[in-house]
Amino acid sequence: MEETRVAFIGAGGNASGHMKRVKEVDGATIVAICDVAEDRAQAAAAEMGASAWYADHHALLDKEDFDALYISVPPFAHTDAEILAAQKGAALFVEKPVVLDMEKGIEILEVIEKAGVVSCVGYQLRYLDAAQRVKQYLSDKTVAMVSHHRWGGLPGTAWWRVMEQSGGQLVEQTTHGVDMMRYVLGDIVEVYAKYATRTMADVENLTIPDSQEVLLEFDTGALGLVSTACMGGGKSDMSFLLRDGTLEFGYTNYKISPDPGGEYAEPLAETASIDDVFIEAVRAKDQSKILSSYRDGLKTCDVTLAANRSATLNRPVRPYFADNY
Ligand SMILES: NC(=O)c1ccc[n+]([C@@H]2O[C@H](COP(=O)([O-])OP(=O)(O)OC[C@H]3O[C@@H](n4cnc5c(N)ncnc54)[C@H](O)[C@@H]3O)[C@@H](O)[C@H]2O)c1
């Protein structure tokens, strides 16, 4: 089997999980790792057996030859790595949220699509068997409404708490729920958001809202509601409403009422890791098994950035992709 050479930009908590899985893939080798925190790049390279490490991604992109590049940096740090790597012909695995600025996202998208390289965004929930079955079950039904709660805690990561660096919880974290809604129900054409800081004004260096409520309109006419908060207290759910029925989606499980039985009563299957799917796609130079391309990842990001705009303007707004492409 021909060796697949993989490089990483960003060697933080999330990247280390991808590195461990890539290292397990037959015929895949991690050749180089970059992190602005030099000691982290060096330690990860030693652990993964990578022959080179860098503190500046330009040096990695200049000097190294690789087939695929993972970019797992904080949201504010997406600059030119995607563009330079795609121009070199490398496949890209980009972590969500792919950008904080749509102009930059469109610039990156155009280069990726012109270069024709394989691209994948880290929306791994799409690969879950429960997600596949929910998508299939709803594909021929009229969904009236969907609602999603993500009420969780505040991560310790410093950049997460700063609006200009993370984009806030909806953009950074609850993007997974928005992506799942888009995956199942299709494009979103209007967004109306209200944000508040209700209980956490005393938290040092916190500039993101602690409470976010977002109303969505899908292209099909379905309505959606996303409620997200980071003050502690746990609630995580997603419910789809049909005429005379509901579907509760819990990522690793789901419940359809009334129970349709048949194939939906079968136990859930194991899910392939997104890293396995990506490396296979890189080898085959075939995008078809990747469930979230850069374009798709950017479309989800677009909806969440539109929500930020809506909350600032205090009126409904249309995401960029509702009127372009
Ligand atoms: N798909 C998922 O489920 C999932 C889960 C966790 C995190 N993520 C995403 O992964 C990304 C990274 O998150 P994390 O939790 O690993 O954060 P982290 O803070 O642990 O790691 C980020 C790393 O990037 C490095 N970095 C920053 N700017 C850089 C640059 N210009 N060049 C090279 N390195 C740079 C930092 O030094 C740090 O080591 C975020 O976008 C996050 O949303 C995705």
Question: pLDDT tens per residue, the chain (325 residues)?
Answer: 789 999 999 999 999 999 999 999 999 999 999 999 999 999 999 999 999 999 999 999 999 999 999 999 999 999 999 999 999 999 999 999 999 999 999 999 999 999 999 999 999 999 999 999 999 999 999 999 999 999 999 999 999 999 999 999 999 999 999 999 999 999 999 999 999 999 999 999 999 999 999 999 999 999 999 999 999 989 999 999 999 999 999 988 999 999 999 989 899 999 889 999 999 999 999 999 999 999 999 999 999 999 999 999 999 999 999 999 7
Looking at the fold, whether 172 and 265 belong to one and the same domain comes out as: yes
What is the DSSP code (8-state) at residue 192? E
Number of compact structural domains in the chain = 2
Q: How far is the CA of 74 from the centre of ligand 1 (A)?
A: 4
Cα torsion 313, 317, 323, 325 to 10°: value is 80
Query: 211 and 283 share a domain?
Result: no
Cβ 70 vs Cβ 15: under 8 Å: yes
Q: Is residue 197 included in any domain, yes or no?
A: yes
Span from the CA of 292 to the centroid of ligand 1 (angstroms): 19
Q: What is the CATH number of the domain that holds 284?
A: 3.40.50.720
Assess whether 135 and 44 both reside in one domain: no
Q: Are residues 79 and 139 located together in one domain of the fold?
A: no
- 229 C-alpha to center of ligand 1: Å? 21
Q: Are residues 81 and 168 in the same domain?
A: no
Q: Which residue, 30, 22, 36, is CA-closest to 49?
A: 30
296 within some domain: no
Nearest CA, atom 30, ligand 1: 36
Q: Could you tell me if the CB of 13 is within 6 A of ligand 1?
A: yes
CA quadruple 282, 286, 290, 294: dihedral sign: positive
Are 101 and 241 within one domain? no
Closest-CA residue, ligand 1 atom 17, reads: 12
pTM exceeds cut of 0.85:
yes
Ligand 1: residue of 8, 16, 34, 35 to mutate (most ligand atoms within 8 A of CB) is 35
> CATH code at 167?
3.30.360.10
Structural domain harbouring 39: 4-124+274-291
Please indicate, yes or no, if residue 51 is contained in any of the structural domains.
Answer: yes
Both 180 and 305 in one domain: the answer is yes
Which residue intervals of 118-166 are DSSP H helices? 129-138, 163-166
Q: Are 99 and 232 within one domain?
A: no
Residue 97 sits in the same domain as residue 151: no
